[in-house]
Structure 1
Amino acid sequence: MSSSSDPMAAVRRYADAFNNGDEKAMAAMCADPMQILDGMSPHVWQGPTAAADWWRDVLVESERVGASGYHLELGAPRHVDIASDYGYVVVPVILSFNLRGRQVTQAGAVFTVALRKVGTDWRLTAWAWAKG
């Protein structure tokens, strides 16, 4: 991965990994420690395996409710704040997925991400999701 002065590039790579269902690529974009706050139970995942643990729970919940085909579309960021080796990004998102054969689109959601530089690359240290 190339270094970037833009933390949004790391957020985009994480979203691309999510869209591809690539658990390892999602985890590779995360710093240690990592924290995730999501509307799905148990709502909080933390530590070095947070991304993998969250993805495992997404798959379990997806099977339970009959959801599949997730796609996250990032909008133009509302905030990209950088202070030295720390970043904060707030970006509107649209989440689409299939729910028991019916296409669902959730617009107006917000993805809030804290990042820090690890070497020369930005890594996610925490993210939170708020539905629209």
Structure 2
Amino acid sequence: MATVRQYVDAFNNGDEKAMAALCADPMQILDGMSPHVWQGPTAAQDWWRDALVEAERTGASDYHIDLGEPRHVDVTVDYGYVVVPVTFSYNLRGRRVTQTGAVFIVALRKVGTDWRLTAWAWAKG
């Protein structure tokens, strides 16, 4: 969970470079936002760029994810799988929106001595 928390902290701080540094190569992202799938060594940066474009288009800002207690944390030698409920909040044209019941699913791989995200998916609440 430590790497997942670091990734979410980087997201909450708008730190694209820190998010990317926590990802393995290749990386895969599946999200509700079009084009829905990002893959490859720049998946995290490409997803972040598209998220900012979508935010501009919809008038969204000040994104924040709060992690709940994990439902699954499975580790098998050098691979991990995490399912964690999340609360996602943001401003939408000046009004605070809170999305509850969402789920963040993450696959991880050990790279050297460090855990790195290899994939994540988001399911809206």
Under a length normalisation based on structure 2, what TM-score does the superposition of the two structures give? Answer: 1.00
Q: For residue 119 of structure 1, what is the aligned residue in structure 2?
A: 112
Specify every segment of 5 or more residues in structure 1 that has no aligned partner in the other structure, as ranges: 1-7
Question: In the aligned structure 1, how far is the partner of 2:87 from the partner of 2:18?
Answer: 21
1:41-80 CA deviation, whole Å, 9 max, x = no partner?
Answer: 0000000000000000000000000000000000000000
Deviation at 1:101, TM superposition (A): 0.4
Specify every segment of 5 or more residues in structure 2 that has no aligned partner in the other structure, as ranges: none
Partner secondary structure for residue 64 of structure 1: helix
Partner secondary structure for residue 41 of structure 2: coil
Deviation at 1:102, TM superposition (A): 0.3
The answer as to 2:2 corresponding to 1:9 is yes
Report the RMSD for the aligned CA atoms in angstroms: 0.3
Q: How many residues align?
A: 125
Q: For residue 61 of structure 2, what is the aligned residue in structure 1?
A: 68
The runs of at least 4 aligned residues of structure 1 exceeding 2 Å deviation read none
Q: For residue 106 of structure 1, what is the aligned residue in structure 2?
A: 99
Under a length normalisation based on structure 1, what TM-score does the superposition of the two structures give? Answer: 0.94
Identical aligned residues as a percent? 83
Query: Which residue identity lines up with residue 87 of structure 1 in the other structure?
Result: G
